[in-house]
Amino acid sequence: MDLERLRGKCGVCLQELPDALLSRCTQCGTSYHPECWEFNRRKCAVYGCWKSPFPKRPLGPPQRHADIFNPFVMAGMFVAVVALFAWNLFRWFQD
């Protein structure tokens, strides 16, 4: 974390900050304009400071081949097998 770079500057808009009227991250001490703090939904803009409970993973490259072990494919196959089994069971009790 390059906090020196942000010293005296707003962590959101990177403009120089006046000495007064600051919102300050309690974790890393980075200062913000109050409106920038609000704009950033009251979260620290410093990378790695604010820990999201649901971190966004970077999107991987698009898959060009069908991945048989894809959880969606596995779930679909599971549903198909269960449906086939239930249908056979239904036919069994019909006779």
Q: Which residue's structure tokens are 């006779």?
A: 95
Which window, 46-54, 56-64, 65-73, 85-93, contacts Zn ion (CB under 5 A)?
A: 46-54
Among 23, 25, 31, 37, binds Zn ion (CB under 5 A): 25
Among 10, 23, 31, 37, binds Zn ion (CB under 5 A): 10
User: Which 8-state DSSP code applies to residue 59?
Assistant: P
Question: For 43, phi and psi rounded to 5 degrees?
Answer: -120, 150
Work out whether 45 is an interface residue with Zn ion (CB under 5 A): no
Burial class (CB in 10 A: 0-12, 13-18, 19+), 30: buried
Among 9, 22, 40, 49, binds Zn ion (CB under 5 A): 49
Among 9, 22, 40, 46, binds Zn ion (CB under 5 A): 46
Non-local (6+) Cβ contacts of 17 within 8 A are: 8, 9, 10, 31, 32, 33
Chain residues binding Zn ion by CB under 5 A are: 10, 12-13, 25, 27-28, 30, 33, 36, 44, 46, 49
